[in-house]
Homo-oligomer: A and B are copies of this chain.
Amino acid sequence: MRVRRGPNSHELSEWSVQVLLEGDFETCFAKGDNSKILPTDTMKNTVYSLARSSRAECIEEFGKELIDFLLARNPQVSAAEVAIVQAPWNHLHFGGKPHATTFVEGGGERQTAQIEIKRDGEFFITAGFGDLVILKTAGSAFEGYLKDSLTTLPETRDRLFGTALQANWKYSSPKLDFSSARTKAREALLAAFAAHDSKSVQHTLYAMAEQALAAVPEIREIKLIMPNKHCLLVDLSKFGQDNPNEIFVPTDEPHGQIEARICRE
């Protein structure tokens, strides 16, 4: 957790950092020779120390800096992977204005990044977010699917479509404005979710991926995971009541799980 103390306002960031190193560790596993092991406790200290000296403004840049630092000091390491999760702290608002030194943790959605860099220069920079629970109450149907002897689901032209969206996209370049790219990709995904005339979760997932790829040219592929958070229409006819798509029971399990990886051609 880092506090930046400006004259008019403070800034608060909370980043959870995971570091994984690969390399020439055979003797430490097979022989109990610890001489090449960088203790995980030291990695922890490295994160704290770098957090103090770094000027990185986003998790992607901090991840790159951390890996550069570790590769430079540890010749036995051939590749490093850093995954960072950002907690959603925001200034507390009163009457439309942010309070300078008071913050609220938003819960829910978390911004993530995973940076992998090999000593030979190969890199994988993945940005994304998880746990974004969204739901649309219009523009979602599911009809015309395959039927067999085990089918019981009725077709519907108007259902609730809820999901806990997890999105991860890979960049084709290691140098770009990551914050701006993240904002554009996220907005494209949400705009597509809201506007799409959905024939299925799969159909909407693809439309969302397409819009994100269109919005950010540096994305070379995107993976979306969209579990289907089912909202079952309650049968009130037994009680002499109608239910014009108004009262639902959300259920956790069992649920549909729709995933796809869409790559730019």
Residue numbers of A with Cβ under 8 A of B are 1-5, 10, 12, 14, 16, 18, 20, 25, 28-42, 44-46, 48-49, 51-53, 73-74, 88-89, 92, 94, 99-109, 131-139, 142-146, 148-153, 160, 187, 190-191, 193-194, 199-200, 202-203, 205-206, 228, 231, 234, 236, 238-241, 243-260
CB distance from A264 to the nearest CB of B (A): 14
Q: With the chains together, A156 CA to B136 CA distance in Å?
A: 39
Interchain CA distance A101-B103 in the complex, whole Å: 29
Q: Which residues of B sit under 8 angstroms from A102, Cβ to Cβ? A: 134-137, 190, 193-194
Copies in the complex: 4
Asked, given contacts A42-B148, A49-B239, A200-B32, whether A194 binds B247 with beta carbons under 8 Å apart, the answer is no
Indicate if the CB atoms of A36 and B146 lie closer than 8 Å: yes
> Bound state CA distance, A46 and B246, in angstroms?
16
Name the distance in Å between A245's Cβ and chain B's nearest Cβ: 7
- List of B residues within 8 angstroms of A48 by Cβ: 234, 236, 247, 249
Taking the closest CB of chain B, its distance from the CB of A235, in whole angstroms, is 9
Q: Is the CB of A103 within 8 A of B29?
A: no
In the assembled complex, the Cα of A241 lies from the Cα of B191 at a distance in Å of 45
Task: Please measure, in the bound complex, the distance between the C-alpha atom of A133 and the C-alpha atom of B102, giving whole angstroms.
Answer: 11
Bound: A251/B74 CA distance, A? 28
Chain B residues within an 8 Å CB radius of A29: 202-203, 205-206, 260
Question: 6 A–B contact pairs at CB < 8 A?
Answer: A1-B160, A28-B202, A34-B199, A38-B145, A52-B247, A102-B190
Residues of B near A4 (CB, < 8 A) are: 246
- Select from chain B the residue with minimum beta-carbon distance to A151: B42
Task: Return chain B residues, CB-CB under 8 Å to A132.
Answer: 104
Of B104, B199, B250, which is within 8 A of A134 by CB?
B104
Q: How far is the CA of A51 from the CA of B254 in the complex (A)?
A: 15
Contact of A194 among B2, B94, B153, B200 (CB under 8 A): B94
How far, in whole Å, are A227 and B37 apart by their CA atoms in the complex? Answer: 16
Give A105 to B254 CA distance when docked, in angstroms.
20
A257 in complex: contacting residue of B16, B20, B88, CB < 8 Å: B20
